[in-house]
Structure 1
Amino acid sequence: MLAPSSSLTLEQGWQKTGATESLQNLKKFKNQDFNRLRALCLSQGLLFEDDTFPTHVSSLGPNLLPKHKLHQIQWKRPTELQRNPYLIMDGVSRFDIMQGEIGDCWMLAALGSLTLQKQFVENVLPKDQGFQDNYAGIFHFRFWQYGDWVDVVIDDRLPFLNGRYLSVHPRTSNEFWPSLLEKAYAKLRGSYQNLHGGYLSDALVDLTGGVQVQFSLKDPPPDLEEILKAAAKSQCLMGCSTSGQLRRNIELKNGIVQGHAYTITGTVKIPYKNGWKHIIRIWNPWGHGEWKGPWSDGSPQWDHVEPKCREDLLRNKDDGEFWMSCENFQEQFSWLYICNSTPTFLNFGDQHGTTWSVDRHISLWSPALATGRSNYSPGAVSTNPQYFFKVPDCDPKTYNVVISLMQKHAEDMQDAKNLKIGFYITMDSKVLKQIFSLNRDVTSYFLLSPGTYAVIPTTTEDQQFEFLLRIFMKNHNYNETSNMPPNPVLPKDVPRQNQDRSYKAVFLRYAKQDSAIDASQLQQLLNEVFLQDEMTSLGGRFSFDSCRGILALMDLNSNGQLTLQEFRSLWQSLTKYMDIFIMEDRNHSGFLDMSELKSAIQTAGLAADEQLLRLMVLRYSDAARRIGFTDFVCCMLRLETMTYAFQNLAGGRSQILMTAMEWLTLVMYT
């Protein structure tokens, strides 16, 4: 199945369309606010100059070029180069990109794949900018970094050497989105020099926030063809690379470049002679240079393809894009990379529709915990955090678990070397799997039978840094005969309809034949669905009385039951507070102390002074002044609900006037 064609509307019309889902937890890189800075420049009649990424050798990198060339670099704005520049013309396409002097084919191959998937493009390229309206020499782009989207502001001064683009240059002379996006990514990574060599897998994740898996083509999985078909069908981003780090950018006689990254833009099976042929379409970020073997432009194989099919598939131009057979693909390339919000490329072989859920954990490797080694020793990693997950009672036919571990460097250490990291998968203290790598992102997929497992992240280095662990699990769609509750934690970047199906499935399971759930049903739901994680279960179960209190907070109709719409609001709050609880419980004790509760309240965007914080600890903590997950949820739901109730009643004022009965009605039920 071919990937959809790459196109977005014109720059002017693009303003009318919206992304499929708003970005969550958007952070401002270097604390720069695009709208505020642009407004300031417009009010003063100035063009923005970014002092956090200046026109200086520091932004290029001291070793990017010989010293005499570094000092020959000139920085020019698009308005100095073209009379009528555009950010985007006739849509965003991979054919807009032509790699420059910098060896960032790994990033451009990922970018080429991104242009094929509109739902991801709209996250990376904000729509509120251009050269036609409110131009002030300032632009911004967004990248996913370690669990959050980051907004990166730049000025539009681009580096030139001897009158030529140093970096990527557009095929159309007055279209500048590739060059400006590349500059923003260079700023995020610390310098242009830090783009000179990298990993396609990293760029795919940075542009999507998704999960990527690498497949060796020298030792491919037996399901490779099925994986490719599933990836194309589910609109994944795909790329590939050739070996030859010591012979990088050497073009072979057959047209394939060694040590180079490419984009996979389509895969299809077509009628050929008396059978079928699986062919793959690939694009070179150079914007030229193509495969010269079978199925290349003008090769005799196309003579045996029906004219209509040939017309639909073949684009006989030197634009860097070409077709090749699956067999030649495995011979010529070393690695295949596939990325999506969830691992939909592993959905092949399923008789029924499936969804993926994800459990996210952010924690800190400290020197005392960084004791993992390639040879497992229970004592050596006994102090490392363990994360439990349960594979449901079903008969898995294909891969059903994907585990992704990512190491995070400090913002000012983007060029730091990756440490050797990995993880063990254990069951009953026995090691079943172990994965180690020097990559930033260590990801692997598994076929696991039903049971309870633990993931133990480890590193061989005695250094302190953060890590992000994501555990993806395949869930068959809910049906009436199923006796398994869905995994409660949902990926933040999956389409909203998938999240809706999940909360609806949970609601329908516990509501049985009714259209609402009562406190008893809510108690059963919360204990069975939200206490699967060992850390969240240490603080005890949800009591009937606490569930009556939670229900009252969300019961807009004041009838003692929750409708589906009311339950949706509760579900969203519960998943949010589970994420916050896990994130703030940094020592993985299963409890929050007073300082951690204060941080959790701030993370949730709520407010509590010291007196209120002390009262909350007295009300919700145990004898050791610790708050478990169930009490934390009750506490935060009440704080959130009463905060919003006051704001609605106050209408922006700092005080409200209520009768005694109004006050008693509010506090006695909620």
Structure 2
Amino acid sequence: MLSPNSSRRLGQDWKTVGTAGSLQSLKKFNNQDFSHLRASCLSQGLLFEDDTFPAHVSSIGPNLLPEDKLWLIQWKRPTELQRNPHLIMDGVSRFDIMQGEIGDCWMLAALGSLTLQKRFLENVLPKDQGFRDDYAGIFHFRFWYFGDWVDVVIDDRLPFLNGRYLSVHPRTSNEFWPSLLEKAYAKLRGSYQNLHGGYISDALVDFTGGVQIQFSLKDPPSDLEEILKAADRSQCLMGCSTSGQLRNIELRNGIVQGHAYTVTGATKIRYKNAWEHIIRIWNPWGHGEWKGAWSDDSPEWDHVEPKYREALCRDKDDGEFWMSCENFQEHFSWLYICNSTPTFLDFGDQNHTTWSVDRHICQWSSMLSTERKNYSPGALSRNSQYFFKVTDYDPKTYNVVISLIQKHADNTLDAQKLKIGFLIFRKNSKILKQDFALARDVTNYFILSPGTYAVLPVTSENQEFEFLLRVFLKNQDYNGEPDYPLSPMLPKDELRFNQDSSYKIIFLRYANQGSAIDASQLQQLLNKEILQEEMTSLGGRFSFDSCRGILALMDLNSNGRLTLQEFGSLWRRLAKYMDIFKREGRNHSGFLDVSELKSAIRRAGLSVNKQLLQLMTLRYGDTARRIGFSDFICCMLRLETMTYAFQNLAEGGPQLSMTTVEWLTLVMYS
């Protein structure tokens, strides 16, 4: 988990074209265009050879192996290794991965978590490649780097030492996505050597473009269990690590020192007439498991209902195991959680509020140093300050997350060696918060009362290089335009829909200057404001009955009308489900089929079984069991509301004698 002694070449080969680094307009690493290069190779009957990351020791790195071993490395293509190679077989899974000689457990632990979240995995692993008719020895993968998504092209020559994979090797001999993805990441980082030791937090961000937060398990937050459950529910990427001076030493209890793992699940289970919080963890070695309580063959499982034991416990030496939350905190040092926005901090919020983000890219200032204890008002005023406004406030929930990432210029010191951080202070006031660390990424979360704040990036070195500052604000619910405009992390066509002040203007327009709207007014609003695009309008309009149903779900006062606050909650859910509908409706027909609906439900952080899924398509779909946007909204709002209603009932104790699926089957078809 420690960074290598040798300095990294991060960014040394960084050459990009274009003006945007979004997934729709990728930047090209080393100015290499995958489609153009593959077409050229196919037309000439050649297999691609990447001169920018050649089959040479320079791509390995000079210090990864002794010199005599470096020159024994052989490079082989999958077609030389297997008669029938595949990029992917039977889907992508963490169990496809087995760590090789390189000490990149930090990257593989993040990759294992990535395989669990399809919405992120599809961004990194493009589908337009393989070993079939269009095979030309060339592949590409996408990573997020310093605010931009970049496309990295590689050839498929893989390094071998004494006939064995030097890099990660797949559990199935003819499946090659793990080895090729690892090679692309090594190219982005400069060499395979630069993967030999690193930080799982960096890889989580590089795979998602999201925000990650580290939690010390030696001094954990009091609400750690709630954060874990919220992270699991909102489909975050999660990892953890152990400490230890000696790396990769397996203790008698099965835990490896100085090692990174993937957190693959968190739940609570009925055990001896009480509730036990347990966590599921995976070792990227592909073997080697915890041997204590809640391990595969531990006696604790004998006191769990058989159906839960069968669903949760896998008695296989595949590197994955369960352990109690207490043992987790005792034997691990750090927990890492990452998502597009910090939804894992929403555990006390039943309204599923949104987060927005303001981004700034600028040069470090040399006027302030992290070594100073006190900062004069004059020094603060001379440095670049980035303002944000807090209006949404609950003293029990976090509402601000600040992330600072450093990017070094070519041939500078290892980024991990420089201390960076930030100061937070109110306008015309003293410093309230400060956070510093020797890391590429310094991120922290806060509860800030309403007001205008400034954040000031600070570094320990007098060097010129860029930083990326992101300020995440929770549920900005205020009147008028903000003093400092925000940039919501939503697709471009979502910006108009989800701007904080727009729903209030719309509400007042249909409320006829009143304080609430009824079902008829809601129907007019939804049909005129939501169904403006072809994809959402093809499936039909919102009926009066469906609007009465939507209103009933959101009407906290049970008076048949929605207040502005209740409508604001509905508006945010509409934004979320519109985004999901567009992402899953890939053929742009205006409808979701059964498989797309299942994927949409999973993307929303909910779950259903096959029987319930069929009932939902029967209840909300057309004759072909397809669901249009208006019916999709009605279906998802009811599913989400009833799911959390059941969870609230279940918290009351064991007197509830039905499962979640039984409850949902009852309420979703009625």
Q: TM-score, normalised by structure 2?
A: 0.71
Alpha-carbon distance in 2 for matches of 1:454, 1:25:
32
Alpha-carbon distance in 2 for matches of 1:51, 1:393:
53
User: 1:321-360, aligned counterparts within 5 Å?
Assistant: 321-360=320-359
Partner of 1:376: 374
Partner of 1:306: 305
Partner of 1:91: 91
TM superposition shift of 1:509: 1.6
Contact 2:416–2:439, Cα closer than 8 Å, also in 1:
no
Matched position secondary structure for 2:38: helix
Query: Closer, same or farther in 2 for the Cα pair 1:177/1:393, shift >3 Å?
Result: closer
Matched position secondary structure for 1:363: strand
TM superposition shift of 1:29: 0.2
Alpha-carbon distance in 2 for matches of 1:183, 1:432:
44
Q: Which runs of 5+ in 1 are unaligned?
A: 1-20, 518-562, 569-670
Partner of 2:206: 206
Q: Which amino acid aligns with 1:156?
A: D
Partner of 1:101: 101
Q: Which amino acid aligns with 2:374?
A: Y
Q: Which amino acid aligns with 2:396?
A: K
Alignment deviations for residues 291-335 of structure 1 (CA, whole Å, 9 cap, x no partner): 000000110000000111000001000000000000000000000
TM superposition shift of 1:393: 5.4
Partner of 1:667: none
Alpha-carbon distance in 2 for matches of 1:411, 1:36:
28
Query: Aligned match of 1:510 in 489, 505, 511?
Result: 505
TM superposition shift of 1:68: 0.2
TM superposition shift of 1:516: 13
Query: Closer, same or farther in 2 for the Cα pair 1:510/1:488, shift >3 Å?
Result: farther
Query: Closer, same or farther in 2 for the Cα pair 1:444/1:101, shift >3 Å?
Result: same
Matched position secondary structure for 1:514: helix
Query: Closer, same or farther in 2 for the Cα pair 1:423/1:82, shift >3 Å?
Result: same
TM superposition shift of 1:350: 1.4
Query: Closer, same or farther in 2 for the Cα pair 1:353/1:566, shift >3 Å?
Result: closer
Matched position secondary structure for 2:475: strand
Partner of 1:166: 166
TM superposition shift of 1:483: 4.6
Alpha-carbon distance in 1 for matches of 2:464, 2:202:
21
Query: Closer, same or farther in 2 for the Cα pair 1:436/1:502, shift >3 Å?
Result: same
Q: TM-score, normalised by structure 1?
A: 0.71
Partner of 1:223: 223
Alpha-carbon distance in 2 for matches of 1:363, 1:296:
48
Tell me, yes or no, if structure 1 residue 66 matches structure 2 residue 63: no
Contact 1:391–1:448, Cα closer than 8 Å, also in 2:
yes
Partner of 1:400: 399
Query: Closer, same or farther in 2 for the Cα pair 1:456/1:142, shift >3 Å?
Result: same
Q: Which amino acid aligns with 2:111?
A: L
Contact 1:24–1:148, Cα closer than 8 Å, also in 2:
no
Partner of 2:40: 40
TM superposition shift of 1:377: 1.1
Q: Choose 26-35 or 389-398, whichever is displaced more.
A: 389-398
Alignment deviations for residues 118-153 of structure 1 (CA, whole Å, 9 cap, x no partner): 000000001110001310000000000011001000
User: 1:530-569, aligned counterparts within 5 Å?
Assistant: 564=529
Q: Choose 319-328 or 342-351, whichever is displaced more.
A: 342-351
Query: Closer, same or farther in 2 for the Cα pair 1:119/1:307, shift >3 Å?
Result: same
Partner of 2:435: 435
Q: Which runs of 5+ in 2 are unaligned?
A: 1-20, 513-527, 534-670
Partner of 2:78: 78
Matched position secondary structure for 2:184: helix
TM superposition shift of 1:374: 4.2
User: 1:79-158, aligned counterparts within 5 Å?
Assistant: 79-158=79-158
Partner of 1:27: 27
Q: Choose 348-357 or 435-444, whichever is displaced more.
A: 348-357
Partner of 1:490: 487
Contact 1:58–1:191, Cα closer than 8 Å, also in 2:
yes
Alpha-carbon distance in 1 for matches of 2:406, 2:398:
24
Alpha-carbon distance in 1 for matches of 2:495, 2:267:
31
Contact 1:381–1:458, Cα closer than 8 Å, also in 2:
no
Partner of 2:632: none
Matched position secondary structure for 1:421: strand
Query: Closer, same or farther in 2 for the Cα pair 1:512/1:299, shift >3 Å?
Result: closer
Contact 2:393–2:399, Cα closer than 8 Å, also in 1:
no
TM superposition shift of 1:66: 0.2
Alpha-carbon distance in 2 for matches of 1:564, 1:441:
40
Q: Which amino acid aligns with 2:203?
A: A
Partner of 1:639: none
TM superposition shift of 1:460: 1.3
CA RMSD of aligned residues (A): 2.5
Alpha-carbon distance in 2 for matches of 1:260, 1:495:
37
Matched position secondary structure for 1:231: helix
Query: Closer, same or farther in 2 for the Cα pair 1:320/1:224, shift >3 Å?
Result: same
Q: Choose 456-465 or 382-391, whichever is displaced more.
A: 382-391
Partner of 1:185: 185
Q: Which amino acid aligns with 1:223?
A: D
Alpha-carbon distance in 1 for matches of 2:240, 2:47:
40
Contact 1:194–1:415, Cα closer than 8 Å, also in 2:
no
Q: Which amino acid aligns with 1:508?
A: Y
User: 1:548-627, aligned counterparts within 5 Å?
Assistant: 564=529
TM superposition shift of 1:502: 1.6
Matched position secondary structure for 1:150: strand
Alpha-carbon distance in 2 for matches of 1:129, 1:491:
32
Alpha-carbon distance in 2 for matches of 1:79, 1:67:
28
TM superposition shift of 1:214: 0.1
Partner of 1:249: 248
Partner of 1:422: 421
Contact 1:362–1:466, Cα closer than 8 Å, also in 2:
yes
Matched position secondary structure for 2:501: helix
Query: Closer, same or farther in 2 for the Cα pair 1:128/1:348, shift >3 Å?
Result: same
Tell me, yes or no, if structure 1 residue 317 matches structure 2 residue 316: yes
Partner of 2:276: 277
Alignment deviations for residues 590-647 of structure 1 (CA, whole Å, 9 cap, x no partner): xxxxxxxxxxxxxxxxxxxxxxxxxxxxxxxxxxxxxxxxxxxxxxxxxxxxxxxxxx
Matched position secondary structure for 1:182: helix
Contact 2:406–2:415, Cα closer than 8 Å, also in 1:
no
Alpha-carbon distance in 2 for matches of 1:291, 1:508:
51
Partner of 1:12: none
Contact 1:190–1:415, Cα closer than 8 Å, also in 2:
no
Contact 2:145–2:206, Cα closer than 8 Å, also in 1:
yes
Partner of 1:451: 451
Contact 1:138–1:156, Cα closer than 8 Å, also in 2:
yes
Alignment deviations for residues 125-184 of structure 1 (CA, whole Å, 9 cap, x no partner): 011100013100000000000110010000000000000000000000000000000000
Alpha-carbon distance in 1 for matches of 2:22, 2:362:
26
Q: Which amino acid aligns with 2:504?
A: R
Partner of 1:616: none
TM superposition shift of 1:371: 3.8
Contact 2:26–2:150, Cα closer than 8 Å, also in 1:
yes
Alpha-carbon distance in 2 for matches of 1:289, 1:87:
26
Contact 2:47–2:137, Cα closer than 8 Å, also in 1:
yes
Number of aligned residue pairs: 496
Q: Which amino acid aligns with 2:487?
A: L
Q: Which amino acid aligns with 2:112?
A: G
Alpha-carbon distance in 2 for matches of 1:500, 1:303:
54
Alignment deviations for residues 178-223 of structure 1 (CA, whole Å, 9 cap, x no partner): 0000000000000000000000000000000000000000000001
Partner of 2:240: 240
Q: Choose 211-220 or 352-361, whichever is displaced more.
A: 352-361
Q: Percent identity?
A: 75
